[in-house]
Amino acid sequence: MSYATKDIRNVCLLGHGGSGKTSLAESMLYLTGAIDRLGRTPDGNTVCDYDTEEIKRQITISTAMAPVEYDGRKINVLDCPGYFDFAAEAIAAIRVCECGIILVTAKDGLSVGAERSWKMLKKAGKPAMFYISKLDEEHGDYNRVLEQLKEKYGGSICPVTAPRSDGKGVIDLVHNVSYSTEKGKTTKGPIPAEDAAMAESLRESLMEAAATTEELMEKFLDTMELSQEEIIEGLTAGLVERSVVPVLCGCAVNGVGTVALLQAIASYVPSPLQMPPVATADGGEIPCDPNGPAVAFVFKTVSDQFGKFSFVKVCSGKITAETSLRNSRTDSVDKLGRLYTFCGKKNTEVKELACGDIGAVGKMDWKTGDTLGEGKTVSALPPLDIPAPVYSMAIAPKNKGQEDKIATGLARLNEEDISFTIVNNSETKQQVISGTGDIQLDVLCSKLKNRFGVESVLSPARVPYREKIKKKVEAHGRHKKQTGGSGQFGDVWIRFEPQFDTEDLVFVEEVFGGSVPKNFFPAVEKGLREAVTKGVLAGYPVVNLKATLYDGSYHPVDSNEMAFKTAAHLAYKEGIPNAQPTILEPIGSLKVTVPSDYMGDIIGDLNKRRGRVMGMNPDDEGNTVVEAEVPMAEMGSYAIDLRSMTQSRGSFVFQFERYEEAPGNIQQKVIEEAKALEE
């Protein structure tokens, strides 16, 4: 069945891990008849957490779709991960939804995950709602959490449902009714007499908050009353402008509050038509026009044993199996073929996807972040704003000879999860995988084993040190070899000295009188360039080196290029150890953003890491941005340590800046580690 754009609602469930997002999605599916039995996360039988790793760990790892039909509306519910290692999934879901519903539990209140979700929605300019979950938990307190939200986010916080005093249901303040839930069945009725005064007081605040337009404000000030339709109109306008943040409540496990939430989404969450046009990367706009040219955005890719599916949001027009779309990235045109909607892992083939709807296209060579459209040219939508990876480890197969299997498996997994990167570091001879944190990398290793049959091990990524010399030396390299017929003879004198113009080797010749013929100069340079790839202290590349060939000798018969190349090697081996070689370590520029309360811990930790604090500045969110320079060798575990120090409220960006001479004790440690690797 195809729905008109005005009847489509796209919402994503956000919040801290364990706040009840998957259970709420399950409750919405069950109460609308999409499923006939209620699954539970501990039992591993929910619709949205279907992946082997999700069932094993009892956490959501990737965003799952749960479309439900209610009151003539199609509601696409996207259940997002709460763990920060999988934040990229939530960012992608926010991109294609018209509203984010942030879950906070009645017991724990405003969590770090909820705060982060709010920031993501704010950055994306998307409406936000709060849902106070797990009302039945011991020590749960709806009013305390509501006050917390008001204190943090101000007057925009507006309760639209409240728990009944008997604990059997919720009061819908917008529609002025009560929902009671017993044994999984919800019935609608009048507000209980004992809750009437409380409901009346909250409804007055609601009407004031809903007076978002000049017309509604005038009416409210004149009559102190708004009709139900006017409240709904005001809430929708306020959501779009982010001036109103509705607060709902419930308990997903027994269904309390779920119908009221569905009614809220159907009534006043904006449809795609009510949202501002989508901005393109080139500064243009794409309005949500059901009759316009088809434009779709790929926000997620799933690659499993059944094939590859590209999940798309139709931003304009509609798409059918016969539609051909041009990819703005590759400029190739593809006929779509089969279209699907997904409910968890179950797919259903459909004939079309209407403007504003979310679905999937099978077997397309598209990537997450691609924009597709009709016509000869397609304006690309901005790419997903995925945070740069901050945690790196070297990955290797448990059994030698399976390197290709790991590379193939990671490439496939990277199609699904674009938030991690894989780099083959030829210098350190390691394959380095970088992501958001240790849980993400652990999950990737598990998927490599389960889906591609290759066991892998993670180890710290080696730091790419450098070596250089500090004084000028002259060295002699002589290669003489006689074997029966023609022999080999090369003889060079080379001056080695530090230079600061370039990291690369600077080769100069000052040979007089033809002691070394010109045709052998390239061989000498080639020998030196091969030699500098391995320093004499710990085997790291030598940089900032100048080598001057100033004398030597040759044999008219036995001299050849190979002999002079070897002679250059010998001069390098003789000279560099006498030129005060030293080890350089990479230094990075670090920007840490943290709430001011944690400043003492952050500065103390940076001092332990041999960091130099360069400055501290406040940001727009009331946090402090600490700028520092820190050796790369000290940053391996920083992503995990920062989370621990700041209860996950801190974030950082780290970029390579330059190389500096390492302290003596660090140099000794690097040399010992290099020797151990050679053994």
- What is the reported pLDDT for 484? 63
Going by their DSSP bridges, the two strands 430-435 and 391-397 should be labelled as antiparallel
Closest CA to 437 of 648, 601, 268, 607: 648
Q: What percent of the chain has pLDDT over 70?
A: 99
Q: What number is the average pLDDT over the span 20-38?
A: 94
Alpha carbon distance, N-terminus to C-terminus of the chain? 67
Do residues 129 and 96 share a domain?
yes
Helix axes 228-241, 214-223, angle to 10 degrees: 140
Closest CA to 420 of 402, 438, 398, 408: 438
Q: Which two tokens stand for residue 569?
A: 């090697």
User: Does 153 reside within a domain?
Assistant: yes
Q: Which two tokens stand for residue 301?
A: 């890719």
Q: Is pLDDT above 70 for 343?
A: yes
- Give the global pTM: 0.90
Do residues 574 and 606 share a domain?
no
Q: What number is the average pLDDT over the span 548-564?
A: 89
Q: Is pLDDT above 70 for 664?
A: yes
Contacts of 218 (CB under 8 A, 6+ apart): none
Q: Which two tokens stand for residue 354?
A: 């209407």
Do residues 665 and 597 share a domain?
yes
Phi, psi of 191 (to 5 degrees): -70, 130
Q: Domain containing 314 — which CATH number?
A: 2.40.30.10
> How many separate helices (H) and strands (E) can be counted in the chain?
16, 36
Q: What number is the average pLDDT over the span 53-67?
A: 93
Coil/strand/helix, residue 98? coil
Query: How far is it, in rounded angstroms, from Cα 66 to Cα 344?
Result: 6
Q: What percent of the chain has pLDDT over 90?
A: 81
Task: Render pLDDT for 606-618 as a digit per residue (tens, 0 to 9).
Answer: 999 999 999 999 8
For the ranges 453-462, 481-490, 639-648, the lowest mean pLDDT is seen at: 481-490
- What is the reported pLDDT for 676? 86
Q: Domain containing 17 — which CATH number?
A: 3.40.50.300
Do residues 495 and 441 share a domain?
no
Going by their DSSP bridges, the two strands 545-553 and 623-631 should be labelled as unpaired
Q: How many CA atoms lie within 13 A of 152 on its CB side?
A: 18
Q: Is pLDDT above 70 for 485?
A: no
> Which residues in 160-268 belong to E strands, given as ranges?
161-163, 169-172, 177-182, 185-189, 245-249
User: Does 379 reside within a domain?
Assistant: no
Do residues 471 and 425 share a domain?
no
Q: What number is the average pLDDT over the span 544-549?
A: 96
Higher pLDDT, 160 or 511: 160
Q: Which two tokens stand for residue 656?
A: 């390579």
State how far the alpha carbon of 131 is from the alpha carbons of 19, 145, 172, 401, in Å: 10, 10, 13, 51
Helix H or strand E encompassing 431: strand 430-435
Query: How far is it, in rounded angstroms, from Cα 561 to Cα 523?
Result: 5
Return the bridge partners of 242, or none: none
Residues counted in the chain? 679
Do residues 312 and 444 share a domain?
no
- What is the reported pLDDT for 305? 64
User: Does 254 reside within a domain?
Assistant: yes
Do residues 26 and 159 share a domain?
yes
Task: Render pLDDT for 453-479 as a digit per residue (tens, 0 to 9).
Answer: 999 999 999 999 999 999 999 999 999
- What is the reported pLDDT for 325? 96
- Domain residues for the domain of 545 are 467-579
Do residues 32 and 137 share a domain?
yes
The domain boundary, picked from 426, 443, 460, lies at: 460
Higher pLDDT, 224 or 393: 393
User: Does 418 reside within a domain?
Assistant: yes
User: Does 380 reside within a domain?
Assistant: no
Q: Is pLDDT above 80 for 324?
A: yes
Query: How far is it, in rounded angstroms, from Cα 138 to Cα 130?
Result: 20
Coil/strand/helix, residue 398? coil
Do residues 296 and 201 share a domain?
no
Q: What number is the average pLDDT over the span 22-41?
A: 93
Is residue 461 within 8 Å of residue 428, measured between CB atoms? Answer: yes
User: Does 382 reside within a domain?
Assistant: no
Contacts of 661 (CB under 8 A, 6+ apart): 582, 583, 584, 585
Do residues 143 and 29 share a domain?
yes
Higher pLDDT, 22 or 557: 22
Query: How far is it, in rounded angstroms, from Cα 39 to Cα 25?
Result: 10
Q: Domain containing 666 — which CATH number?
A: 3.30.70.240
Query: How far is it, in rounded angstroms, from Cα 54 to Cα 33?
Result: 24
Look up tokens 């998957």; give the residue: 22
Do residues 141 and 88 share a domain?
yes
User: Does 103 reside within a domain?
Assistant: yes
Q: Domain containing 416 — which CATH number?
A: 3.30.70.870
Label residue 679 by pLDDT band (50, 70, 90).
Answer: low
Is residue 205 within 8 Å of residue 230, measured between CB atoms? Answer: no
- What is the reported pLDDT for 132? 97
Q: What number is the average pLDDT over the span 186-196?
A: 92
- What is the reported pLDDT for 169? 93
The domain boundary, picked from 257, 274, 291, lies at: 274
Q: Domain containing 546 — which CATH number?
A: 3.30.230.10
The domain boundary, picked from 517, 550, 579, lies at: 579
Closest CA to 579 of 499, 521, 511, 659: 499
- Could you write out the DSSP letters of every residue in 124-169? HT--EEEEEE-TTSTT--HHHHHHHHHHHHGGGEEE-EEE-TTSSE
- What is the reported pLDDT for 29? 96
**How many domains are there within the chain?**
5
User: Does 385 reside within a domain?
Assistant: no
Q: What number is the average pLDDT over the span 250-263?
A: 94
Helix H or strand E encompassing 448: helix 438-452
Do residues 351 and 439 share a domain?
no
Helix axes 112-124, 87-96, angle to 10 degrees: 40
Q: Is pLDDT above 70 for 137?
A: yes
